[in-house]
Amino acid sequence: MKLLLVDLPKTEIIKVPNQTDDLLAKTSDVSPSGQNSDGRGDGRWSKAKLIRCFRIVMMISVVIAVVYTAITSFQQLRQEGFDFSAVKYGWWVGAVGAYIGTMFLSCCFWFRVLIALGQKPKFGAALLAFFASQLGKYVPGKAMVVVIRTDMIRGDEVSTAPAAASVFVETLTWIFVGSVIGSLLLVLQFEGQMLLKTIGVLLSVIAGILTWPPIFRWIALKLGVVKGRKAKKLLNGLNLQTMSFGWLLMTMGWCLNGLSLWMVLKGLPGTAVAISDFSLAMVCVSLATVAGFVSLLPGGLGVRELVMIPLLGSQFGAVTAIVAAIVIRVIWLTAELATSGIIYGYRQAIGKVP
């Protein structure tokens, strides 16, 4: 009897990944073989730690700069022998409110620019990012404002490059409108002051050119702010209608800025302030802020006062001018700290801190 031998096919053993391994791989970004999903080992974690450290350093720098500004301002007031008990604080509270209104209007325009650049920001997140970034101007240089605001607003719905570009549009528009207002009022109200007039006119021209829609769109394309086939279409949202909206809001904002200084003067003891002095306050805050921006010094420290004191002194005297210039800085700093803290606390309470 013959035996029939048949070669059976070899059976291959297939290893089925354990679900636990897969879960660990997803949560730790490490494959079961021990490598990161991108094959770079632990590089991602190193990058995350660097970003975290940078944010901590950024926050510490802002805190130190703000505290230094506050201490310096109060020391200057003491040197002037200022009597806080005689202050009409109701006017100063109004000055804080006016400045908060200024920042809110600027934030609305920035939010509109983000949408014009094809982004989808949440207004609450934009509000917190804008107000918090204002504290960055007290750090040497002006880059910290851009860094803080961009870092806080970017996410799934907002890309980094358009976010940064939107900050430049908002800032340059603010400077452009302020330069125009300050220069016009200075020409109409003051004789001489050729240096301030020249600076105002030059900044008006430069900022106006950079924020003119066709020119900014061209610059944005060259810098790759928005990439892809739809880049031109997205940038078309930054048109004359958007910028006109910004010019209107910024004009209103500068009026509120002038109102804040006018209220500070009203609150000073022994100072006679009339409605007609409002235009002087507008000139002072616009040109002083613009000059401080150009200086790149923390919060324009010293430069704002250098511009504001001679202008105010011509109407109210040197002592009142010095005190008003110092107090308005404290008022604005108080408004920035208060609004940032309140908005952050509220959004943290409802679980929407970015």
CB of 61 within 8 A of CB of 143?
no
CB of 117 within 8 A of CB of 225?
yes
Give the pLDDT confidence score for residue 192 in this predicted structure. 66
Task: Give percent of the chain with pLDDT exceeding 90.
Answer: 17
- Quick one: tokens of 99? 């400045």
* Residues 198-225, mean pLDDT to the nearest whole number: 77
Q: What is this structure's pTM? A: 0.73
* pLDDT higher than 80, residue 150: yes
- Rounded to an integer, what distance in angstroms lies between the CA atom of residue 225 and that of residue 236? 13
* Residues 29-49, mean pLDDT to the nearest whole number: 50
Task: Report the mean per-residue pLDDT for the chain.
Answer: 76
* pLDDT higher than 80, residue 191: no
* Residues 292-298, mean pLDDT to the nearest whole number: 73
* Residues 320-337, mean pLDDT to the nearest whole number: 86
Give the pLDDT confidence score for residue 156 in this predicted structure. 74
Number of Cβ within 10 Å of residue 49's Cβ equals 11
Angle at the Cα of 100 (from 162 to 339), degrees rounded to 5?
A: 80
Tell me: the pLDDT tens digits for 273-283? 889 899 899 98
* pLDDT higher than 60, residue 30: no
- Rounded to an integer, what distance in angstroms lies between the CA atom of residue 238 and that of residue 348? 33
- Rounded to an integer, what distance in angstroms lies between the CA atom of residue 95 and that of residue 86? 17
Give the pLDDT confidence score for residue 77 in this predicted structure. 61
pLDDT band at 27 (very low <50, low <70, confident <90, very high): very low
* pLDDT higher than 90, residue 34: no
* pLDDT higher than 60, residue 181: yes
* DSSP-based three-state secondary structure for 279: helix
Give the pLDDT confidence score for residue 65 in this predicted structure. 59
DSSP per residue, 280-325: HHHHHHHHHHHHHHHHTSGGGTTHHHHHHHHHHHHHH-HHHHHHHH
Domain boundary assignment for the chain: 87-349
Give the pLDDT confidence score for residue 63 in this predicted structure. 60
Which residues lie below 8 Å from residue 143, measured CB to CB, with a gap of 6+? none
Residues making up the chain, counted from first to last: 354
* pLDDT higher than 90, residue 301: no
pLDDT band at 1 (very low <50, low <70, confident <90, very high): very low
pLDDT band at 26 (very low <50, low <70, confident <90, very high): very low
Q: Which of 60-69, 84-93, 111-120, 180-189 has the lowest mean pLDDT?
A: 60-69
Query: In terms of DSSP H, where are the helices of the chain?
Result: 19-28, 43-79, 89-116, 123-133, 143-153, 160-189, 194-211, 213-223, 231-235, 240-267, 278-295, 303-316, 318-349
DSSP per residue, 67-95: HHHHHHHHHHHHHTT--GGG--HHHHHHH
Q: Which range scores top for mean pLDDT: 75-89, 174-188, 240-254, 292-306?
A: 240-254
- Rounded to an integer, what distance in angstroms lies between the CA atom of residue 109 and that of residue 9? 73
* pLDDT higher than 80, residue 286: yes
